[in-house]
Amino acid sequence: MNPSTLTLTKNSHSCVRLDKDGHSLVIDPGGFSGEDDAVGADALLVTHEHPDHFDEARLRAAMEANPAAEIWTLRSVAEQLAPAFPGRVHTVGHGDTFRAAGFDVQVHGELHAVIHPDIPRITNVGFLVDGALFHPGDALTVPAQPVDTLLLPVMAPWSKISEVIDYVREVGPRRAIDIHDALLTDLARPIYDSQIGALGGSDHGRMAPGERTGL
């Protein structure tokens, strides 16, 4: 793990920002995140093509605001952005490693979780940053190495709470922090908090949009 201080900012839904040594990395600035959540990033990572994770306008705004910014993502997203930003959009897949704006990143996973057997599965990749924080996108991918902080897709059309709990158990992080929570109502949050906290086996918490924590 990099000894430099890593700071996490939770934005809306599945979008997060990591800051370290004066550089910023943003993951999944989609349609449920703030319009400017990607602006100011030096590196941008996108797990898959669904619009709550990938919003072309938000990414274009970030790339235009910072001419040195680059994107790492899977092919379906890269093909939409690469023509406008030649040399700045990189296609990655499971098993790849790269360094982005001073962050060391490993790619884990290949497919989106099953929504319904009648719906074809799309590609999805997860990102392990600095060997410490894992963002799985829309999948319950278990990296082949320990994870300190798991960004936990807590509520989605493709999951149920027993699967979420078992995922925390299988990954075994020091702590799990909720993402993919835009559709989770305030009425339901205490139920998820208590059940995941009691049964997951790891410290579990959630952050409000804009809240920051050290890693």
pLDDT averaged over 10-residue windows placed end to end, the chain, 215 residues: 79 98 98 96 98 97 97 97 97 98 98 97 98 98 96 96 98 98 94 96 96 95
**Pairing mode, strands 149-153 and 43-46:** unpaired
Q: How far apart (Å, rounded) are the C-alpha atoms in residues 49 and 53?
A: 7
Tokens of 179: 């993402």
The reported pTM is 0.96
Q: What is the pLDDT of residue 4?
A: 74
Q: Kindly report, residue by residue over 45-76, the tens digit of the pLDDT.
A: 999 999 999 999 999 999 999 999 999 999 99
The torsion defined by the Cα of 47, 48, 52 and 58, in degrees rounded to 10, comes to 80
pLDDT of residue 5: 87
Question: Could you tell me which CATH number the domain at 7-205 has?
Answer: 3.60.15.10
User: Mean pLDDT across the chain, nearest whole number?
Assistant: 96
Token readout for 203 is 């410290």
The percent of residues above 90 in pLDDT, for the chain, comes to 98
| Pairwise CA distance, residues 215 & 40, whole Å | 21
Which of 213, 148, 211 lies closest to 175, judged by CA? 148
Provide the residue type at 81 as one letter.
Answer: L
What pLDDT, on the 0 to 100 scale, is given for residue 2? 45
pLDDT at 1: 43
Using CA atoms, how far apart are residues 138 and 173, in angstroms rounded to an integer?
18
Q: Which residues contact 83 (CB under 8 A, 6 or more apart)?
A: none
Owner of token pair 């994107």? 71
Q: How far apart are CA 99 and CA 2, in angstroms?
A: 12
Instruction: State the alpha helices, DSSP H only, in 66-134.
Output: 75-81
